[in-house]
Amino acid sequence: LQRFGKDVIGKHGEFLAGSIALEDGVCLIHTNANYLPTRSKVGTAAPNGDWEPGLYGYLLQSGRNARVVNWELEGEAALRSCEVAVLQDLGNEPSADLPQALERLAARGGQVVAFMDHALARGAGFRFEATTSTGPAATAFTWAGGGEFSQDKPEFLSRYALADERCESVLSAAGASAGFRCRWGRGRFTQIGAPIYKEFNSAQYAHLGDIRQRDALWRELGWSKAPRVAVAPMTPKVIAPKLTWNGAI
């Protein structure tokens, strides 16, 4: 630890004093509503403990360093810098004010991407029929714009019959739509009916051969803004007292 301090902190302290930010406008919304009992057989343990970190890894893999927004703690103010809001929907009643905040984000041209269940999509007024089940073994997914990937027996798979002229299918699986995109105000709402990212937080990650195909989501969104790395301006900070190790600084 002492050597680390000398080699890294000692040499680069001034640079490290500024916080490093990757500004790309993507926010991953974490909400306490997903901890409530859910109608889905998958429960809440795997989606919250394993799959949501996998979603974050999926975003990182695509080059998007998402800001995590804890909705109950931060609220709508945290969404002001968001251009794309991403979240898991487990089918529960959304947390207070979240649907309205997402609608306002779309009204200013932003995008919302919900995975798995479709309570938010229903609440937004989009018209569709849905069936949710465990997917068949080795389910193949195909993007509307091209590109195919597969999952071994998805624990959660929603399939849709669209009945809304604002919406079009962007992902298909097992002979039906497994994801759709809708116009919403000046922006868009995209619903993907499966956790296509769960392998990104699992032992399977090292063996995935279709990462590029899964990443085609961003093409379907039509959002290709390049991330921008920046050093944030210096801010007031607490200076820790000098520490000694066995009497040596």
DSSP secondary structure, 135-187, as one string: PPTTEEEEETTS-EEEESS-S-EEEEEE--TTEEEEEEETTEEEEEEEEETTE
pLDDT for residue 26: 93
| CA R_g for the chain | 21
6 dihedral zone (left: phi>0; alpha: psi -120 to 50; beta): alpha
Strands 148-151 and 139-143: antiparallel
So what's the pLDDT on residue 109?
96
Residues of the chain with pLDDT under 50: 19, 237-241, 243, 247-249
Residue 15 pLDDT: 58
User: Quick check: 116 and 47 in contact, CB under 8 A?
Assistant: yes
**Rounded Cα gap, residues 102 and 43, in angstroms:** 25
Give dist(CA 155, CA 83) in Å, integer. Answer: 30
> In angstroms, how far is CA 100 from the centroid of its own chain?
19
Domain ranges of the chain: 20-231
* 3-state SS track over 187-248: EEEEEECCCCCHHHHCHHHHHCCCHHHHCCHHHHHCCCCCCEEEECCCCCCCCCCCCCECCE
Q: Quote the CA–CA distance of 95 and 182 in Å, as a whole number.
A: 22
CA–CA dist 72, 42 (Å, integer): 24
User: What is the per-residue pLDDT for 249?
Assistant: 44
Name the one residue in this structure whose structure tokens are 């932003």.
110
Q: Is 40 exposed, middle or buried (0-12, 13-18, 19+ CB in 10 A)?
A: middle
Q: Which amino acid is at 241?
A: P
Q: Which CATH number fits domain 20-231: 3.40.50.880, 3.20.20.120, 3.10.580.10, 3.90.1150.10?
A: 3.40.50.880
34 CB burial (10 A radius; 0-12, 13-18, 19+): buried
| Dihedral sign for Cα atoms in the order 227, 29, 122, 37 | positive
Residue 19's pLDDT is: 47
Among candidates 114, 175, 94, 186, which has minimal Cα distance to 140? 175
φ/ψ bin of 215: left (φ > 0), alpha (ψ from -120 to 50), beta (otherwise): alpha
